[in-house]
Chains A and B, each alone.
Chain A
Amino acid sequence: MSAQPIPHDAAPKAGRTVIETRGLTRRFGGLVSVNNVDLVIAENETLGLIGPNGAGKTTLVNMISGTLAPSEGEVLFEGQVINDVPAFRRAHLGIARTFQVMKPFHGMTVLENVTVGALFGRNGGQKNMADAREKAREWLEFTGLGGKIEINADSLGGPDRKRLEFAKALAMEPRLLLLDEVMAGLNPVEVTEVVELIKKIRGQGRALLIIEHVVAAIRSLSDRIMVLHHGEKIADDDPATVLEDPRVIEAYLGKRRQ
């Protein structure tokens, strides 16, 4: 990697379990995209999810956020099975995500985009427009978009769009935040900025799931790393152990190591 090494923070103390999957499986016709995956993330814990393209990472996130129904297995949020809970209600429970293909609301300004998150997030969000706008402003400041709130979301550049995705998800005040490749397509300097942003989020009591290709970044951010390969979990341990695992290197890192 060309980016300067990012020091690994001491892991925050993990609390009670926020999200859990048991034997989660998704088939598309004959293809098993996610196969029998068990996953646990506690509050204040960050799980890094890596794996080659097509390993089933986004499918797994889709099943947790509720946009895709599992073929088998269970998703549990704070101990309750939520398989039949629709996506919008999972948002009310406290699950938020960003999208790999960024999805800003085109006809809206940056502020309005984030206001939607504040209006509809956890517990149904703020009922009052003024309160929601105020909260949206705070999260835009937090993510470094404070100076661009009145701009149309379409006119934002790549890195700012990533920040917008963050702000939208954070305005929902989630208990579980799913970050799907928020560093893809960013240059090393921008990656460092996003890493700093995630570090700030980590200290706020949430459970975090980060899908990422930038190994240096994910090593420094994760308390644990889970590796998917052809839909199966092949490793789930602390970053150092996982990244030295020969199976992981063979499946994924072998091709990428320089």
Chain B
Amino acid sequence: MKRFILPAAIVIAVFMAFIPGFASDTMIQFWINALLLATLAQAWNILGGFGGYVSFGNSVFYGLGTYGTGIAMATYHLPFGVGLAIGVVLAVIGAAVVGLPILRLRGPYFAIATLGLNGAMLAIFSNLSIANKNIGLVLPLTRNDTMFYELSLGLLVLCTATVWWVSRSRYGMGLIAIREDEDAAGTMGVNATLYKVTALILASVFTAVAGGIHAYWFTFVDPASAFDSTLNVRMVIMCVFGGPGTVFGPVVGSFVLSAVYEILAAQISTAAALLFGLVIVLAVIFMPRGLADVVGRGRALSWRYFVRNITENRL
């Protein structure tokens, strides 16, 4: 079954490129959001899933991407491409500057350190006059959802291709070794600091581009929505739900969760958030290793798998 996954994924990606030809406007808008979220989850997967470092700072790169595009287009009237490039440069610098000191911390300490970053960036951009302080920026309006859809799809494909390369490369083996035992990886010759920082930088590139696309599509940027730590929580949830450290898990996981949320919101708007939370709790209890692990078991899967997960977690 494993060798059919890659061809199947390519067929699905090609098919998805034609969706704007027949889908409704609402459907395309749903997909733009879902594709961008999937990119965020997939980018988070590089350091979080393969390297085992839970980052709550990825939303900072998203914010830098949105502001790179926002400032370039709204304040300086530069083209969209230049805005994306500025966002990426800002995010890469941010990842390197933040990563070098913080990635020396292990496990929960790293996670806690990254939590503070959103607040710091929020305060900075709320007082930056080229970013129009806390009022935010209005970008030029472009009504072309098909373009935004294709850009988002292209970015997700690129990000997934990168993760696919990571999963079968020397670089990826180093990251996995760090995840499983960082000290042992070090004594075997893995330059852990270099690997972790480059993983964070790689993630920051895709995250910033996703932010830039969203800013131009949404035509509005403000500090609170750009540096939103709940967005980071969603990246983590979607990646873990789908299967961290796998190539297609985060993509499928975020598509499924986006759809579930959309359906819940349409049916019962008031209790949607509550039920969404319930879905996630149940998912973590019954399939802690994500959808990819469930699907990967194929025919060997039975109800015992779910029972075993419960007993292993001593619930």
Question: What residues make up the interface of A, taking CB atoms closer than 8 Å to B?
Answer: 65-67, 86-92, 96-97, 99, 103, 105-108, 112, 115-117, 119-122, 124-125, 127-129, 132, 168, 172
Contact = CB atoms under 8 A, between A and B. Distances in A.
Interface in B159-198: 168-170, 173-174, 176-177, 179-181, 183-192
Interface residues on B, range: 20 to 34
Contacts of A97: 187
B245 interface: yes
B189 A125 contact: yes
Nearest to A95: B187
A116 B181 contact: no
A168 B188 contact: yes
A185 to B, nearest CB: 19
B181 A87 contact: no
B186 A88 contact: yes
A105 B190 contact: no
B170 A119 contact: yes
Given A67-B187, A92-B189, A127-B170, 6 more contacts: A88-B192, A89-B191, A97-B187, A105-B181, A116-B188, A168-B188
Contacts of B180: 105-108
Contacts, number: 81
A88 B191 contact: yes
Nearest to B191: A88
B245 A65 contact: no
A80 to B, nearest CB: 18
> A-B pairs with the 10 shortest C-beta distances?
A91-B189, A120-B189, A105-B180, A103-B184, A87-B186, A116-B177, A88-B186, A88-B191, A119-B170, A103-B181
B179 to A, nearest CB: 7
B232 to A, nearest CB: 24
A108 B189 contact: no
A138 B189 CA distance: 20
A101 to B, nearest CB: 10
